[in-house]
Chains A and B, each alone.
Chain A
Amino acid sequence: MAEAPAIDLSLMEEVFAQYEGQPGALIPVLQKTQEIYNYLPGEALQLISERLGIALGKIYGVATFYAQFYLERRGKHVLKVCDGTACHVKGTPVLLTALEEEFGIKPGETTADGQLTVEVIYCFGSCALAPVAVLDGQVMGRMRQEMLLRRVKKQLEADGRQGTTMARSDE
């Protein structure tokens, strides 16, 4: 993975200005922090601990409890594939196999070049469009494997870079 850029902690001040002193603010503070950095950097957690007066261990406990929070940097593009009941019945396992085959990563993993993270989510509540995948926040319904791979590759290539794929010539 590329060298991690330094974390600009001054960006946190706005978050503290909004929430400092409020009861029960830890989760919204973590959510805002993740909005800024795309994950929860250790330095930021340390600062939250100092400013909110909550033990770092407790913050770690909360951050690791909820599925939404990430302690590690994620890929530039994030593909969330729904494996809720309806999607599961309608073919998510096939999609995941196809993704693993194409990009060499399992759910929860990021490609070595830091371009793509694939995650499994349990239900976006759009079950009538099953199976559903969300690529960089864009909801895509009734996905089939060829269509999904095409959309992901297009998104990766939109950066003007080579996709992360082990190039295969099946199109």
Chain B
Amino acid sequence: MMSESLTQLLVRQEQARQAWQAKQNVDLYVTVGMGTCGLAAGAADALPVIEQEIRGRNLKAVITKVGCVGMCSYEPQIELQARGRPRMNYGQATAANISEIFASYFEGSPLKKAVLVGEVQPSLTRRNGQSLSSLSFRAPETGEAIPFQSKQLRIVLSNCGLIDPESIDDYLALDGYEALRKSLTQLTPEEVIDEITRSGLRGRGGGGFPTGVKWGLARKTPRWPKYVICNGDEGDPGAFMDRSILEGDPHSVIEGMIIAGYAIGARYGYIYCRAEYPLAIRRLRIALDQARQLGLLGEHIMGTDFSFDLFIKEGAGAFVCGEETALMASVQGERGQPWPRPPYPAVSGVWGQPSNVNNVKSYAYVPRIVRMGAEWFKSLGTPGSPGTAIFALTGMVNRTGLIEVPMGITLREIIYDVGGGIPLGRKFKAVQTGGPLGGCLPEAHLDTPVDFDSLVSAGAVMGSGGMIVADETTCMVEFAKYFMRFTCDESCGKCPPCRIGSTRLLEILERITAGEGEPEDLNRIRYIAQGMQRGSLCALGQLAPSPVLSSLRHFEDEFRAHIEEKRCPAGKCRALITYEIVADLCTGCMVCGRSCPSKAISGEKRQPHVINPDLCERCGLCREVCKFDAIIVR
């Protein structure tokens, strides 16, 4: 017999499905992307203008505030769908551009500042009597997928940009919490673990450890209470995958965690989210309250014997807390310093109890796998790394954004087909994955397939999903120094190889970029790096040398140019470059002279200016302000 709470849930779900249909069956259905990026680009200011436009046209409309669809370069983005017309997505939809978007959509007038991103078509994947709705974007003229979308496969991001993250009904309408219902009412915990194991899901925090195996270990430890922990301390500079999921589809993470709790036999769970993500935290809180109200968290979930609840722990700004043992120390209210493993968290984790730590993305995959089946998930990606990979594609690439691609796609396809190549006609130099603990790969490695194992063999790592593209103007020594300064700052200080090693490596790199490098420095780097890799307590120290080692491996010539010729080929390192004004291009507008902090630029109005190299501090401000590209670096 069905319990009362389960019946209630099913009724609510049916109502939610009807409401979902009804709210789109109006004169005009509008979605506005309101993730952090959309808000920063002006989505909140656009909202009242949209409402005004709707009133002016006397339309019965519904506006849904959605998460981000991942096309950051177009933010803010809105979608319009009038009855009987195609659904269109527009970019650069700032307050000032709203009326031209409406005029274009309804009257067909040309767009001036806003951009038509594409026609939105729902895409449905069906398997096991279940379906996965997602958005896909097509060029209206050709009907083909727009380039940014062509190679993408949205599974874990399927709801982002589609539903209102602050509405549990939207989530329920698209089969939300179905996977939890299936787990609790049809599967034993062992069967859930078996399903996840068979799917081949590997931990998306970067390590790639099989998720099902991890759950199995935590289940087997005969001590209670057990804890489920979500690692949302996405600290890598250049990475924002977890933020987008938490902001755009928080319930999927919560559902995945509840299923994990059922599978390992946990009573409580923590979501550790970095404090730099206030919007993600706010939306998580709303989602948790909604789930509690529907009895999806709390005592006797869906009328079963399973009770489970979740709490949010806000980080306080420490990169090392992304390491699982440091994270648990922080949950306990201590300094976020790692402790040695073993014992692994599955045996002794937070408060010394068995704990299961997974990344935000890993949990978000779980409901989809349980619903659609392990075989479906395994059929995607590569045999060794099934499923999709999510990357925050940033840096010197034309189309930046959040992308989800099948595992096995090459770096070249991501950078050139999805990302649209390098802007300003410049040349590609390196792609960096895995952030401060990852590596960079040059042109020759662009055909490396993206999966956990291939990237490691090439000298980089999958990491948690940051992908930063550097063009020819990036100095690889400076780039390596930047990452080393980061790890040096963020080293927790507990173990000497990491604390001292990162300081010494930083000193060497600073020396090299200052033009004081010695030939022996390259061997010193390798020697210290090896000590850190072998001797450090946690992944931070072990992997911190990766950026400098991979740069050295692929760009040794550039290091040598700094050391032996005292020259920075990319023209970045201040001590090794001079700024000059090309007299033929200089119009004598005097802007550079006013911007120069050291008063190193002189010249009469409308006459070519000159830079005094003795006064110049090589800050580059003049080059930044020059509108005629008359200032060059040598």
Q: Which residues of A contact B (CB under 8 A)?
A: 23-28, 30-31, 61-62, 65-69, 83-91, 93-94, 97-98, 101, 121-130, 132, 139-141, 144-146, 170
Contact = CB atoms under 8 A, between A and B. Distances in A.
B318 interface: yes
B333 A26 contact: yes
Nearest to A84: B237
A86 B395 contact: yes
B276 A144 contact: no
A23 B332 contact: yes
Interface in B396-429: 396, 400-401
B37 A128 contact: yes
Interface string B203-238: 000000000000000000000000000000011111
A87 B192 CA distance: 42
A123 B239 contact: yes
B308 interface: no
A65 B336 contact: yes
Nearest to B319: A122
A27 B336 CA distance: 11
A6 B211 CA distance: 53
Interface residues of B, number: 61
A86 B37 contact: no
A66 B40 contact: no
Interface in B460-475: 466, 468, 470, 474
Contacts of B482: 85, 88
B571 interface: no
A67 B351 CA distance: 24
B330 interface: yes
26 contacts: A27-B333, A61-B335, A65-B335, A65-B336, A66-B315, A83-B237, A85-B238, A85-B395, A85-B483, A89-B474, A94-B619, A97-B619, A97-B620, A121-B276, A123-B238, A123-B239, A123-B276, A125-B234, A126-B240, A128-B37, A129-B40, A129-B75, A132-B40, A139-B36, A141-B40, A170-B594
Contacts of A62: 333-335
B235 A122 contact: yes
B351 A23 contact: yes
A72 B388 CA distance: 46
A66 B317 contact: yes
B621 A129 contact: no
A128 to B, nearest CB: 3
Given A31-B275, A86-B468, A125-B234, 4 more contacts: A24-B333, A67-B317, A94-B619, A121-B276
A85 B237 contact: yes
- The listed residue with most A CB atoms (<10 A of its CB), out of B39, B351, B395, is B395
A170 B392 CA distance: 38
* Nearest 7 CB-CB pairings of A with B: A128-B72, A84-B237, A67-B317, A125-B240, A66-B316, A26-B333, A123-B237
B239 A125 contact: yes
Interface string B320-345: 00000000001111111100000000
Contacts of A145: 621, 624-625
A145 B277 CA distance: 25
